[in-house]
């Protein structure tokens, strides 16, 4: 079966569009994977900062308690 030039042009344009769409999906997938990795790193950094903040909070709360105990012992 021979195709008309108009039909062949439509087939060519669909093939080009199909290739474009597939390449775009691959590009988007690559970007998505990179963002997932970065999000994982940020999650780890936030968890680390939370632990550090908790430790500094404990130290900060311990100072007045230790001062109060020292005053009580010196009386």
Look up the domain containing 10 and give its range: 1-75
The per-residue pLDDT for range 4-39, each reduced to its tens digit, is 776 677 777 888 889 999 999 999 999 999 999 999
Query: CB-based contacts of 67: which residues, under 8 Å, 6+ apart?
Result: none
Q: What is the pTM of this model?
A: 0.59
Q: How many domains does the structure of the chain reveal?
A: 1
Q: DSSP string covering the chain, please?
A: -PPPHHHHHHHHHHHHHHHHHHHHHHHHHHHHHHHHHHHHHHHHHHHHHHHHHHHHHHHHHHHHHHHHHHHHHH-
């Amino acid at each position: 079966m021979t195709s008309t030039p108009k039909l062949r042009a439509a087939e060519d344009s669909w093939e080009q569009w199909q290739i474009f769409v597939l390449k775009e999906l691959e590009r988007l997938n690559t970007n998505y994977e990179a963002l997932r990795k970065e999000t994982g790193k940020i999650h780890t950094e936030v968890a680390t900062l939370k632990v550090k903040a908790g430790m500094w909070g404990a130290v900060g709360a311990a100072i007045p308690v230790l001062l109060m105990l020292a005053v009580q012992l010196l009386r």
